[in-house]
Chain A
């Protein structure tokens, strides 16, 4: 047996500061971050609907905000978070059904989730502005 004489210096346990998170772990924490972001985004959603109930002036005020540079940036972030949470959420539902657990499949669905987010975001904004 040609066992390695000395093992490289490794941390004793995977600590967040020294452990390189696998892609699936980044997507997992991003799922929660996106969920928090989307929850905050419901404030904007409520503002829109309530403004319409208050009348044309309140609605115009909301329209001006959401079509401003800041408003569009928030809306873009909201769309990315929504599509990512949607794609990764579907993967979570399949995991809950007991499917796709192998590491190889997970590596593949990582890519599907990211690609799905990019494609859906691109389609939405292209349809909106072409």
Chain B
């Protein structure tokens, strides 16, 4: 109908870059932000796992009671689960062709990811606080 030079979008709308979904590049940006954060966090996680490989419950409890370890672990968990649900959303959007199944699977994956995030973070806090 209208050529590329006759956009109905206002200059302000274009500057905000939010598009018809009113989200703009928030999802894309969060994926990149969480990726960046996960570079050091994932390396820390691997090093920690190597350090904990022979640990029993007492040694793990002592380790996670350290405020720095508990803090970084909780950051790692929060960012990991956010990254996982946003990555899985893109995969499901690309490969599940039926609209209903696609929406249902995305919602299910998000709910499961946030449930696992809550459970794992609460578990860290319980042990760290020695409850």
Residues in B with CB closer than 8 Å to A115 are none
Q: How many residues of B contact A (CB 8 A)?
A: 33
Q: Are A56 and B57 in contact (CB under 8 A)?
A: yes
Residues in A with CB closer than 8 Å to B88 are 35-36, 39
User: By DSSP majority rule, is chain A's interface helix, strand, loop, or mixed?
Assistant: helix
What distance in Å separates the Cβ of B107 from its nearest Cβ neighbour in chain A? 15
Q: Are A36 and B91 in contact (CB under 8 A)?
A: yes
What distance in Å separates the Cβ of A29 from its nearest Cβ neighbour in chain B? 11
What distance in Å separates the Cβ of B48 from its nearest Cβ neighbour in chain A? 12
Which residues between 8 and 63 of chain B lie within 8 Å of chain A, taking CB atoms? 32, 35-36, 38-39, 42-43, 46, 50, 53, 56-58, 60-61
Q: Are A60 and B56 in contact (CB under 8 A)?
A: yes
- Given A53-B126, A82-B42, A86-B39, A45 contacting B120 (CB threshold 8 A): yes
Which residues between 84 and 131 of chain B lie within 8 Å of chain A, taking CB atoms? 84, 87-88, 91, 109, 113, 116, 119-120, 122-124, 126-127
Q: Could you mark each residue 37-73 of chain A with 1 if its beta carbon is under 8 Å from any beta carbon of chain B, else 0?
A: 0110011011001101101100110010000000000
A18 CB within 8 Å of chain B:
no
Selected contact of B123 from candidates A39, A49, A63, A128, CB within 8 Å: A49
| Closest Cβ neighbor of B87 among chain A residues | A35
- Given A38-B84, A92-B35, A128 contacting B53 (CB threshold 8 A): yes
Q: Are B116 and A52 in contact (CB under 8 A)?
A: no
Residues in A with CB closer than 8 Å to B81 are 42
What distance in Å separates the Cβ of B126 from its nearest Cβ neighbour in chain A? 4
A23 CB within 8 Å of chain B:
no
Q: Which 6 A-B pairs have the closest CB atoms?
A: A53-B123, A59-B57, A56-B57, A49-B123, A53-B126, A39-B84
Using a CB–CB cutoff of 8 Å, the interface residues on chain A facing chain B are 32, 35-36, 38-39, 42-43, 45-46, 49-50, 52-53, 55-56, 59-60, 63, 79, 82, 86, 89-90, 92-93, 96, 124, 127-128
